Amino acid sequence: MDIKALEDRFFEWMAHTRTGSMFKIALGAVLAYVADAAAGWNLPPVVLAVILVLVPVAINELNPRDSRYGIKS
């Protein structure tokens, strides 16, 4: 099994498909829930909403396959 090829396909999927975008949004929601529930920070709802919006953008930024504004490979 070629891990590098699998990684490339995963990044490609996240950068260029609707389901990849939905995955990133869901990941943001999970991270917001974990930050609020597990850490007990009692964050205001607006902060959680900002986290939901910023996580997919940060993932896109770090994805070498995302040609919109990601790190170029």
Q: d(Cα 38, Cα 19) in Å, to the nearest integer?
A: 27
pTM: predicted TM-score of the whole model, two decimal places: 0.64
Give the pLDDT confidence of 5-15 residue by residue, as tens digits. 999 999 999 99
31 vs 13 pLDDT, higher one: 13
Give the pLDDT confidence of 32-62 residue by residue, as tens digits. 787 777 567 777 878 877 887 888 888 888 8
For every residue of 10-56, DSSP letters joined together read: HHHHHHH-HHHHHHHHHHHHHHHHHHHHTT-----HHHHHHHHHHHH
Q: d(Cα 45, Cα 69) in Å, to the nearest integer?
A: 28
Number of other CB atoms surrounding residue 13 within 10 Å: 13
pLDDT at residue 22, rounded to an integer: 94
